[in-house]
Structure 1
Amino acid sequence: MNSRNQIRARMLRAALLAGAGSTLLIAATPAMAQDAPAPQAESEEDAIVVTGIRETIQNSINTKRMETAIVDALSSDDIGDIPAISVGQAIQTITGATTHREKGDASEIALRGLGPFLSNATFNGRDASNGSGDRSVNFNQFPSELVNNIKIYKTQQASLVEGGVAGTIEIGTLRPLDFGKRRLQADIKAQYNPYGDRIVGSGGIGWRGTLSYVDQFANDTIGIAIGVQRNDTNNPEETYAASTTWTACQASPVVANNNCNEYTRDEYGQNLPFYLVPNAYTFRQISETDKRDAIFGSIQWRPSDQFNINLDVQYSDRTYVENRRDLNLSEGRYGLTNVVYDENGIVQSLNGLSSIESNGSELARSEEYLGGGLSVEWQPSDRLTVTLDGSYSRTVRTEIERNFRLRTDPTDVNGVRTVFNNMRIPYTYSITPGSFVPTITIDPRFDLNNHNLFWDDARFRRDESKRHNEIYAGRFDVAYEMDGFLSKVSAGGRWSHLTYRDYDVRNGDFNLNPAIAEDRRINNLCRTAFPQQDYLSAAKGNSINSWATFDVDCLFREYMGAEDPGNLPDTRSVANRDVTERTLAGYVMAEYDADLGNMPVRGNFGVRVVNTRVTSDGLRSDLSVVTNPDGSIRLVTSGDFDTVTIKSQNTRILPSVNAIFEVAPNTLLRAAAYRAMSRPNPSSLGAGRTILLEDGTSFTSIEDAIRNITANGSPRLKPLMSWNGDLSLEWYPNKDSLLSATVYYKQFTGGFQPVVFNEDFTIDGQSVSIPVTQTRNSPDKSRIYGLELTAATRFSFLPKPLDGLGAKVSYNYADSNFKTQDIRLGEVYDPETDTVSAGIIPPANLSGYSKHVLSAQAYYEIGPVSLQAIYNYRAKYFQDFVGGNSQLRYVAPSETVDFRASLDLMKGVSLRFEALNLFNEPKATYMPVYGSSRQYHYYGAKYFIGIRARI
């Protein structure tokens, strides 16, 4: 099937599933009405014990109905019953929630088609640190088997204190006394990954085991809960990628023996024709091992009716190691001829020349999470409740990457001249309209699998990065219950101290050119066979299936004398971030409950005030120009550093009101109005400077090099603010059924815009003024309006055994006119002249914004059998790089189909099966305009089979 047919097939599947879901809902509507039980029938049904998927959906419907705000949830009364292999997979079944996929699994969450940075995520009601540099919870760190409720607040209320523009994601673990029963449970699963089976010597087998225990003691005054998990799996990946820096090249004149002429900002007003190209192209094969150990624990103590004390702790230690084998065309701008491009500058085909590299690396990442808190609830009287909560959360992520480069040369490693007169090899690039897969064809006279051709300009690097995110927080709440119109008044405050520090240090750029005899010896010693069968066979149009590869450890040992040269003794760098954020917040909220005529009305109103103070330290150093052995140059720091401190603060007042009108016994009308804020990511507040040299970029002048000094953050960024309104109509005909529609509107008071400041740098002893681009809050106004639909039912009106069928469909539509400019090719604000210079490519929308999000579930439960199929669709979206100040990247539309099944073998013992990404849906991205292919990933499906036992 070609790419165009694949796209048509996707559209057809989406239409069929959406149509099927709509048909199910229409057919179920009369049944919903007929199913509305009389009081006696309701009582009888209450006596029935409901478990599994039906129970989870019932709990979710009941939670939505009882909450004051507009809320969607996924919860289970029992531990380990969240129906998903990961927390991220579980969340994407909740109405309006969708995920970004990494390594084939759900990671960051977007609510109502809005990006993760617009949401606030908490764990047991507390902010959680992560190792990504943003504010989203790393859902892959938390085993779904040890989580038993997930709640998403779509609207805000003052007691949430922080909240978010898109919503708040609350992840919770059980409290043992509230659970109220003894439970010992073991769950073991085997994983099979067909892509892993294609790795030579692998087999694609992994496993995960979970053990949990809950009990109560001392006449139910003390309860404990503890859960442990070991996860040992593999996530192989095959990918094609272009570099993260793209250049607009002038269409004329054609430069056949050098880099293309860049279309500079000074020339943008001339409306010259241009095309967009990256600095390099890379084909990458990844073999991986992934291990995680997690421990969750909780102790709950009720010494009397007045006190409820809970201590909970979570620990997770995850390590994965990637062995990467790269084929790199390192000069994407060199020798470009016969360029065909469209009106947006997207290249359709071209001829080019590039040195070709066989690169390899080993990337080891370890991420340790430690979090928890102590909550004390005191109820001195029936009406007054006082709660104190202190929490701690810390994430430390360390990455170590050792990589090498071996280049082509006019001769091979044996000194035999090749048919090419220099190190650069001809290639062609072409892409079929409507396809995300470009075809790169290397001159057939060059044998990619010939190890002899890769030997020159050996370069070795050891990169180490460390991200340290730590949060101390405390909270005080007091609530007083009242009689009359106001049923409760609450007030409280929150204090938090967040620190984010990172470094990224390179011990390397060791360019080695020993005698050719030594090169020949090492080349022959360190050769390896290509480690995978059928590389990128699913990528239609791909013409590269293997290349010569080498052993990383062997090359380091033979060239460098050690497999790991170690880190530098001084990890200071001008790129380091050191951010401290102090938050002080307070709120007052009143809940009301009354009748409007014969119609019950309840809700809340309140205000919260949030003050934020940011201190960001950055390092500055003199620079020197160093000439590499291949003739290119780079910039290095002198090693003497000065600290620059930038401070900012802001105070925001956030009013909110929620109202629920019970227009009929089973029908609710909800209305909400509120102001919300979403903070910049901690990594976006750095005061450092990044000196970025893409692989393969050969600078020939200092001017070329210094153009790549960029700010790695903007400490003066303020929260993104919005005024919001929601209106929801919900119908609850019975315990299994829900039909709801919500319209919402958000008006933003600003956007994000690149801004250029001139900064003085000392280079080779001379002071040079260099324009450095950052990001500012623009004065632009923008808005979002959207529609959210949810329908769920069990077809109990069907004859047995079909009455076990059920379905849930949710859909979100959002329309936004927000603007995010490309930092190189978009609009730029000049603070000296107070003017905006035009860009040459269109802006993106909000990071993470998707116009359409659809989730459809069908389940069947009868006796011991439970089956569930889940379909998820997400329209295209812009995804910013963590840390910001980068070029635009778009993720193509995606759809996935997952399947789950369980069979009860005996009381307390069940056999379980899960399949993820059944149809091998790849992930595709574009830069810096949509349609310009940047990267695609293939992960394959994953299968899990296991057994669970509980007593």
Structure 2
Amino acid sequence: MAIRFNARRRIGATASWTVLGLLLACGSEAMAQTAPAAPETDAAAPQTESIGDEDAIVVVGSRASQQSAIDRKKRAATATDSIVADDIGSFPDRNVNEAISRIPGVALNRNEFGEGEGVAVRGNGPALTRVELDGVGVQATNSLAIDGQSSRGADMRELPAELVKSVDVVKGSTADMTEGSIGGGIIIKTRSGLDFKKPYFSLSAGAGQNSLGKDWTPNFNGVAAGRFFGDRLGVIVSGNYSKLQNNSHGFETTTSNNRGYARQYDFDNSPEKTFSFNPDTVGTDAADVAFANSTAPGGGALTPRKLIELAAGATSKEQCFQIFPHLATSASAGARSQRILEQQTCLNQWNDYTPSLIRNFMNTQTDERYAFDGRLDYRVTDELTVYAKGTITNRKVHDQNRSRNPVTLFNPNPAGSFVVNGTGNPRTRTLSPNVPAGYYLFDPQYGLNNVGNAAVLGNVLNVVPNSVVVDDAHNVTQMMVTNNSVSIDQIENRIDSKTRYAQIGTEYRGERLEIDAMAGLTTAETRRGDMRTSRSYTYGDALLTLQPNGLWDIDLPDNYDETNPANFVQPRPASCISGGGTDPATCVGQAAVAEGPNGPATPQYLVSQMPLTTPSFGVSYSPRIGESREKIAKLDVAYKTDELLPFITRIKVGGMYRDSRIQRWGGGGYTAVSQVGTYGQPGYVPAIIVPVAQVRGTLRACQPTPGSSAPGGLSCNYGFVPSTNPLNIRSGVDTLTPQELQDLFSRTLENSDSEYFGDLPNRGNLPPAWQGIRTDELFAALGASQFLNFDCVKSCMGSDGQMYDQPVTRASETTKNVYAMMDFEQQLPWGLLFNGNVGIRGVFRSVKSSGLQTITANRVTPSYDPNNPDAPAGFTTQSFSQIINTSSSTNDWLPSVNLNLWAFDEKVVFRLFGGKTLAAPTLENMVPAGTCTVDERSVVDPSGEDMYGCSGRVGNPGLKPFLAWNYNASLEWYPNADTMFSVAYGKLDVKVGNPIQVTKSAFPFAGSDEIDPITGRPLSEIEFNYPTWDNGPGYKRDIWEFSAKTAFTFLPWFLKYTGADGNISILTSSVTSGQQDPLTGDFMLPPDESKYYINASLWYDDGKLNLRAAYQKRSERFTCITPCGGNNIDINYPGEQWTNVRLVAPGYNPGVPRFMDGSTFIDLKASYNITRNFQVFLEGRNVTREAQTTSTGDYVRFADGTPRVMRMTYSGRRIMGGVKVQFGGGR
């Protein structure tokens, strides 16, 4: 083989290649004139090898590691880019995500703390990118205990860069590669003890600091390796410990950072529309489903599509009332309510933009990570090696998420501020003679509200009218808001993640026969517990002014003081809820409650009979557990056929078995056995209830009044009172005296550990920091503190005293693979060489899933009023649950072809790849879980809305895998061992896209034997409206990648020790379907796809001093159409892949595109070898102190071009310095 290999190299470039060959040769000579001769194996032309083949030994130094990375790319069997151990070490990378992001075609997602949280390969996110660690799949961890929606996406934050030997990002594929990636897979290799010729030991110790928190935290890493028993046994162990203080500060102008600005009120009363509905963006089957309680003008059905068309045609507010006239009071309640929604939809086009929420964040995270990796390799013979390895990674995270809502946007129509005039439809709202100061009437002609299914015009708001400034694009840019409250909210969560990798295997390398066999097991578990509490107080007026950076300046009154606990303890009388007027002696403050299975009867209390109380401050604890596991077994057999068969050089076959499982426990709680009979009647048997694991309590102060202390009054009932509802027995109410609550607040205050947006350049008028809450200490003083654990998450005691398993979401996937491929090679005239491989892989998947499906039955009572169907006295609710099991299977064949044409002494190669790729859908999207409602009100009043629906997104077991054809063409030039130039073009033709959120009318209980408790019909015969998942649309994506690496060895003086590498990736997707901007109709790019990203670095390495500067830039990327899964602010009509699609108050008000804005990060690292064995180093991340923003991009900006920022996040600059000692090696 070697003889043929060397002989092949001696064939020179001739004929028409001569001129270009001379140019390349001259260029190669110029760049290599001072370079030392490379070893024969490096200089030799590449035999295409599988990515997993490990022949080269990584050498030390920036230049040597770059040579190794270039050589790996050159030798790869398909389009690949690589980085190797010392190259990784030369970057200031905290984890493998960040190391990988330096590769062409890879974009890094940095989280709120500035750390690389995930990567996108050629525009495909973590769920579409399989990551393997020594052949075993890397698992998700944190997402397991949150919502499970990222269980396909590997979490590599726990893998320190120091553990890694090499990383290959494979843009193509070969038949022997594990499927699961669409645009590129990631293959991580760790070191082997046989890689080291001599015993090796290294230990590094450092300390790092974030420029916001400024605490110094440690980082330790150690590696020990050696050979024993005549160099047959190789042993390597490595460990890493790091503790990080992460800080993140945020400023939010929209609710939860996933809604848009609000359009609720018309402040400028301009005849010009703020926006106009675009009927061309109405879509999906739901657009043509008629509303049950309405007819179109002129007769016929009114559908969402028709409603939008009619509203778009209105040219004035008055015309909205002409198109959708008010109904008479004699019309049904459902019809009147529906008509108000139609009118509000039309009128929304004149409402002005305001922030939907203003909130400040200061989040602190203490992140401890432990990692250990050990491997044994034993060379039984020169041909046979067996090995065993294990990796343990642990991560303990303690988060303190502090937020502050400094203003109230808005407080519309509070009790006592208005009077409703008239008895017809519509009625009008005017200011009450006793209106509290700071409330004003707005839009008395068209400010439409639904009050008791009747139209009421006019809104009373806490806004000073003459303070409102509106720009030409109908954006409020300044306003005085009155009667504000400040709310301080804190979430303390603790996350404990454990991941284990175990692997055994053997490698046989004969003269012709090669065998690889491996079996592995990966397990991951995450436990997460969140404690949350909040407090608030009312302070007065605040002036809001838009700043040029898109954030808001808030001018607070002089008496504002959020640091005084007494301000948060302000006992007040109860509010009047019925009885008319506001006289405490006659109005009702607490309604009577009848005795029932969930609690005793309580009488009605007047306000005068009740004590003074503070607002009830929420206290909650949410425990969650997630587990995942993957078993894998793999066999590869290859036989070299060169000189035996013409053209074909190797035949390879193999198979793989994978068994992946996930389990997830959340809040739990359910009815294990339904009640028998009716409560209070003979024969009644109560239901057996398993309580929820969550704690949902309240904390308040109470001060008695003469009326509450008198006979028949409502006492304060101090102390902890647990809930009487068996579902919530772990929750309750803690009542303290005002002084006790003030003392508790005082001793659980915590000063901020940093200044708000402390060292951000051009910080502007951002507010100061605020005090946090010692949530753990506060919760320890509460009655429910005994329940702040995981004791009830997997199993819990039911109301009958017996133990029951809690609901668990389970999914398992078994995948069987077989493949066959062959390598080929043919020498061609004129010094050309043609080689490559072709193969096919079979993928046979079977998926089983189970989830808890809850049926809620609403039964009418004798008090049911069709004109007020939602009155609590009119119906009762009963629920029961069952486990739903589903299964599905798919079979796919994935062909792949790789072709390489080498020229010019094999310094230039033209590669072609084509193949079918597959990535399975997220298992959780296939789990049938949710709550479905059967409602007797629909039977009693057939003219009402259909109330047979499901909440929660019900999984779809029939989801297909993400399927695409992937193509790649690249031209690569390797002038010498130090230099590489490459240009690549990729084409991704997606046939089945990512699952999308949809709402269907179907039969989710098909095949079930359960019976509808109201009608007696089988549930399998009842059609439900329910949210679920469906196969996403396809699209096409073009990718261009330009990459270069070189060492400037031909330059004089110290410049000969320098080098540079850089790459740019450009993505263009052809999208003719999918998500559109509701207003312009523009089609959005696939989520998380940047148009381009750039990586560049300059380095210097003279053997003593090593310097590197790394530059990373990523353009903006679309994420979603607001509200992005939320349920308010943006209310969308039916459209492709939009969320919150429903007609509810205050009418259709479409969302806007949400973007993660482009970002630029510069990282630096310097190290100096004082001796061969002792090194000092210093590194800096985000040295330019870049902030990250979310906005609407170029859509719906302010009139002067100011961006509509939804959130700005800043995590500071991080530095770390330390020392490293090392001995031996000789790798």
Q: Same fold (TM over 0.5)?
A: yes
DSSP-derived class of the 2:958 partner: coil
* 2:783 pairs with 1:560: yes
Aligned residue type for 1:671: L
Distance, in Å, in 1 between the alignment partners of 2:154 and 2:38 is 40
DSSP-derived class of the 2:176 partner: helix
What are the residue-to-residue correspondences of 1:291-440 with 2, within 5 Å?
A: 291-328=368-405, 334-335=411-412, 355-379=485-509, 381-408=510-537, 428=544, 430=546, 432=548, 435=549, 437-439=551-553
Question: What CA deviation, in whole Å up to 9, does each residue of 1:804-824 have, x standing for no partner?
Answer: 1111110000101347967xx
Question: What CA deviation, in whole Å up to 9, does each residue of 1:816-874 have, x standing for no partner?
Answer: 1347967xxx79xxxxxxxxxx8987664323211111001000112411100000001
Distance, in Å, in 2 between the alignment partners of 1:401 and 1:661 is 58
Question: Which residue of 1 is the match for residue 167 of structure 2?
Answer: 150
Question: What CA deviation, in whole Å up to 9, does each residue of 1:279-314 have, x standing for no partner?
Answer: 754322223221111110101112123422111111
> Residues 32 and 1050 of structure 2 are in contact (CA less than 8 Å); yes or no, is this contact kept in structure 1?
no
Distance, in Å, in 1 between the alignment partners of 2:356 and 2:871 is 15
Question: Which residue of 1 is the match for residue 1057 of structure 2?
Answer: 804
Question: Which residue of 1 is the match for residue 815 of structure 2?
Answer: 583
Aligned residue type for 2:501: G
Question: Which residue of 1 is the match for residue 835 of structure 2?
Answer: 602
Distance 1:737 1:882, change over 3 A: farther
Larger relative strand fraction:
1
Distance, in Å, in 2 between the alignment partners of 1:127 and 1:632 is 54
The CA deviation at 1:38 is 11
What are the residue-to-residue correspondences of 1:906-925 with 2, within 5 Å?
A: 906-925=1171-1190
Question: What CA deviation, in whole Å up to 9, does each residue of 1:321-379 have, x standing for no partner?
Answer: 01232213697565477695897x98766776765321222111111010121112245
What are the residue-to-residue correspondences of 1:137-216 with 2, within 5 Å?
A: 137-197=154-214, 204-216=215-227
DSSP-derived class of the 2:194 partner: helix
DSSP-derived class of the 1:521 partner: helix
> Residues 262 and 355 of structure 2 are in contact (CA less than 8 Å); yes or no, is this contact kept in structure 1?
no
Question: Which residue of 2 is the match for residue 225 of structure 1?
Answer: 236
DSSP-derived class of the 2:212 partner: helix
Distance 1:284 1:816, change over 3 A: same
Question: Which residue of 1 is the match for residue 626 of structure 2?
Answer: 467
* 2:1027 pairs with 1:773: yes
Question: Which residue of 1 is the match for residue 151 of structure 2?
Answer: 134
Q: TM-score, normalised by structure 1?
A: 0.82
Distance, in Å, in 1 between the alignment partners of 2:160 and 2:985 is 34
Distance, in Å, in 2 between the alignment partners of 1:875 and 1:715 is 36
Segment of structure 1 superposing worse, 609-618 or 860-869:
609-618
> Residues 213 and 754 of structure 2 are in contact (CA less than 8 Å); yes or no, is this contact kept in structure 1?
no
> Residues 268 and 840 of structure 1 are in contact (CA less than 8 Å); yes or no, is this contact kept in structure 2?
no
Question: Which residue of 2 is the match for residue 745 of structure 1?
Answer: 987
Distance, in Å, in 2 between the alignment partners of 1:279 and 1:766 is 41
Could you tell me the percent identity over the aligned residues?
21
- Number of positions where the alignment pairs a residue of Structure 1 with one of Structure 2: 868
The CA deviation at 1:390 is 0.9
The CA deviation at 1:512 is 3.5
**Residue among 1048, 1064, 1088 paired with 1:848:** 1088
**Residue among 1135, 1149, 1163 paired with 1:898:** 1163
Distance 1:882 1:92, change over 3 A: farther
Distance 1:249 1:712, change over 3 A: farther
Distance 1:801 1:454, change over 3 A: same
Question: Which residue of 2 is the match for residue 34 of structure 1?
Answer: 30
Distance 1:890 1:580, change over 3 A: farther
Aligned residue type for 2:1189: A
Q: TM-score, normalised by structure 2?
A: 0.65
Distance, in Å, in 1 between the alignment partners of 2:982 and 2:91 is 23
RMSD value over aligned CA atoms? 4.2
DSSP-derived class of the 1:89 partner: helix
> Residues 655 and 674 of structure 1 are in contact (CA less than 8 Å); yes or no, is this contact kept in structure 2?
yes
Question: What CA deviation, in whole Å up to 9, does each residue of 1:66-98 have, x standing for no partner?
Answer: 112111000137996776332222112122222
Question: Which residue of 2 is the match for residue 246 of structure 1?
Answer: 259
Distance 1:358 1:861, change over 3 A: same
The CA deviation at 1:445 is 5.8
The CA deviation at 1:385 is 2.1
Distance, in Å, in 2 between the alignment partners of 1:157 and 1:760 is 40
> Residues 533 and 775 of structure 2 are in contact (CA less than 8 Å); yes or no, is this contact kept in structure 1?
yes
Distance 1:561 1:76, change over 3 A: closer
Question: What CA deviation, in whole Å up to 9, does each residue of 1:407-435 have, x standing for no partner?
Answer: 335xxxxxxxx6x5xxxx76647364xx3
Structure 1: unaligned runs, 5 residues or longer: 1-27, 198-203, 410-417, 626-630, 692-701, 828-837
Question: Which residue of 2 is the match for residue 121 of structure 1?
Answer: 131
Distance, in Å, in 2 between the alignment partners of 1:766 and 1:405 is 41
Aligned residue type for 2:378: W
Segment of structure 1 superposing worse, 450-459 or 838-847:
838-847
**Residue among 883, 892, 898 paired with 1:652:** 892
> Residues 723 and 748 of structure 1 are in contact (CA less than 8 Å); yes or no, is this contact kept in structure 2?
yes
Question: Which residue of 1 is the match for residue 1045 of structure 2?
Answer: 792
Aligned residue type for 1:939: S
The CA deviation at 1:934 is 3.1
The CA deviation at 1:798 is 1.6
> Residues 34 and 1049 of structure 2 are in contact (CA less than 8 Å); yes or no, is this contact kept in structure 1?
no
Distance, in Å, in 2 between the alignment partners of 1:668 and 1:738 is 11
Distance, in Å, in 2 between the alignment partners of 1:158 and 1:708 is 43
Aligned residue type for 1:474: A
Distance 1:397 1:561, change over 3 A: closer
Distance 1:446 1:765, change over 3 A: farther
Distance, in Å, in 2 between the alignment partners of 1:522 and 1:512 is 9
Question: Which residue of 1 is the match for residue 79 of structure 2?
Answer: 70
Distance, in Å, in 2 between the alignment partners of 1:397 and 1:637 is 35
Question: What CA deviation, in whole Å up to 9, does each residue of 1:448-505 have, x standing for no partner?
Answer: 4443333422111001122211111111211111023110011111111111222222
Distance, in Å, in 2 between the alignment partners of 1:819 and 1:116 is 24
DSSP-derived class of the 2:181 partner: coil
The CA deviation at 1:150 is 0.6
**Residue among 895, 902, 915 paired with 1:674:** 915
Aligned residue type for 2:740: R
What are the residue-to-residue correspondences of 1:675-694 with 2, within 5 Å?
A: 675-689=916-930
**Residue among 78, 91, 94 paired with 1:85:** 94
The CA deviation at 1:623 is 4.6
Distance 1:613 1:939, change over 3 A: same
Aligned residue type for 2:774: D
The CA deviation at 1:658 is 0.6
Distance 1:820 1:551, change over 3 A: farther
> Residues 536 and 542 of structure 1 are in contact (CA less than 8 Å); yes or no, is this contact kept in structure 2?
no
* 2:830 pairs with 1:621: no
Distance 1:928 1:808, change over 3 A: closer
The CA deviation at 1:566 is 3.2
Aligned residue type for 2:224: Y
Question: Which residue of 2 is the match for residue 814 of structure 1?
Answer: 1067
Distance, in Å, in 2 between the alignment partners of 1:45 and 1:299 is 27
Distance 1:276 1:58, change over 3 A: farther
Segment of structure 1 superposing worse, 331-340 or 394-403:
331-340
Distance, in Å, in 1 between the alignment partners of 2:1191 and 2:966 is 31
Distance, in Å, in 2 between the alignment partners of 1:74 and 1:793 is 14
> Residues 873 and 893 of structure 1 are in contact (CA less than 8 Å); yes or no, is this contact kept in structure 2?
yes
Aligned residue type for 2:521: Y
Structure 2: unaligned runs, 5 residues or longer: 1-23, 44-56, 144-149, 288-303, 313-345, 413-460, 570-614, 668-692, 704-735, 796-804, 859-869, 933-943, 1016-1021, 1127-1136, 1141-1152, 1196-1202
DSSP-derived class of the 2:767 partner: coil
